[in-house]
Amino acid sequence: MNNLASALLDKIGSKQARIGVIGLGYVGLPLVKTFLLKGFHVTGFDVDAKKVDMLNRGKTYIRHISAAELKDFLGRKKFRATADFRGLRDVDAILICVPTPLDGHGSPDLSFVLNSTITVAENLRQGQLVILESTTYPGTTDEEMLPILEAGGLKGGRDFFLAFSPEREDPGNKNFSTATTPKVVGGLTPDCLKLAKTLYDQIIVKTVPVSSTKAAESTKLLENIFRSVNIALVNELKMIFDRMGIDVWEVIRAASSKPFGFMPFYPGPGLGGHCIPIDPFYLTWKAKEVDYQTKFIELAGEINRFMPYYVIGKTVEALNGQGKSIKGAKVLVLGLAYKKDIDDSRESPSLKIISLLQQKGAKASYNDPYVPHVVGHREYPGLELNSVPLTKALLKKVDAVVVATDHSAYDFDWIVKNAPLVVDTRNAIKKHRKNVVKA
């Protein structure tokens, strides 16, 4: 280990290292909070001036990040947010937590990662540690980031240090936080790995070192592909069992009684969040380089993408059964967040369901206690709606209610009692009711 690495290692071990986090969203902000709670000084970087201003005023835009905590750290001068990336020169470790979406053709869009890397390269100095946390395909860190960072003459593994450690955020999970979820780490060189592992050892319950950045990148893809494929399986079984008059939820409950060899997954109206609907296709794209077709991944994606259409079909069928047409029908979608009790609507199947309802001429509205307004989603640029108050009068006025997200705040007995028709995509209503259709 050279002198630069040794000096940085000492700084990290004594918590004197200054931390910079690029991207202050659902991954970056919890990471900032975790470093702060463990005694580090942190600077948060983001291109969104509105986010920066809110954070510096002690206000939060993510439900599970406390404003009181932010104000405390700001008061003790342990944290600040900025849109001035020249401040990267003043930190010792730079962690990149930016989006990695798909483009309009379903291929990886690394623009956020690469633009962030260019910005880091413009401000890079000797002795800094750079870690990518954004989910991506194997080879991104070594093949895409490293040449950009070395273009100024500094050498990776000698003058600066590079690693990959995939984020494992699960918004709304009360059992596991950033600090209590083990962290996989891969480095460009052994020194890079040691530095990155030591950094995370200060804040995470357990670090899991792997042999390379590619192995670390692949680990995150495996985690999300595993979920995508299994969710697709139960979604397909739901549609098959529905035709057979079998309750898939009852079948899953029964199968879950087996104490070995089975892990329950649950069907729904489609996939949401920034990980599972997107990440598997990063490997699909990369696999083409080695002339391999990822059949399981692509089939799972096809099934999961179809689920909002299935929900619409069941809604149309249920309305027809009441002598009503989907065209002109008033349909209330309950829940815009992609899963219960969170405020994250990224890639939510509710957005697709609302869009499809509008295309069929329905008058669609939504209610979500955690998402008061929706506008500017990447795939739905023209969609702009406000959450409507959930009242008895509204329920009696609509033609159908689609339960897309089963928030704990919803009183489903009250909803079923007052709505003429409920299309339940989450098994939120357990008992058989005449006006409830499972979808």
Using the Cα atoms of residue 378, residue 382, residue 388 and residue 394 in order, give the sign of their dihedral.
Answer: negative
Tokens standing for residue 382: 């023209």
Measure the CA–CA gap between 24 and 429, rounded to whole angstroms.
37
Of 19, 91, 98, 275, which one is the catalytic site residue?
Answer: 275
Measure the CA–CA gap between 121 and 110, rounded to whole angstroms.
16
Using the Cα atoms of residue 157, residue 191, residue 215 and residue 89 in order, give the sign of their dihedral.
Answer: negative
Measure the CA–CA gap between 50 and 353, rounded to whole angstroms.
30
Instruction: Fill in the DSSP letter of residue 388.
Output: P
Contacts of 432 (CB under 8 A, 6+ apart): none
Measure the CA–CA gap between 33 and 42, rounded to whole angstroms.
9
The CA angle 92-98-99, to the nearest 5 degrees, is 165
CA 137 to chain centre: 16
Contact 60, 75 (CB under 8 A): no
275 catalytic per annotation: yes
Angstrom CA distances, 300 to 82, 217, 230, 424, 439, stand at 40, 21, 8, 22, 19
Give the phi and the psi of residue 398 in degrees, each rounded to 5: -75, 160
Measure the CA–CA gap between 50 and 25, rounded to whole angstroms.
12
Tokens standing for residue 392: 């008895």
Measure the CA–CA gap between 62 and 122, rounded to whole angstroms.
30
Helix (H), strand (E) counts: the chain: 14, 15
Active site members = 275
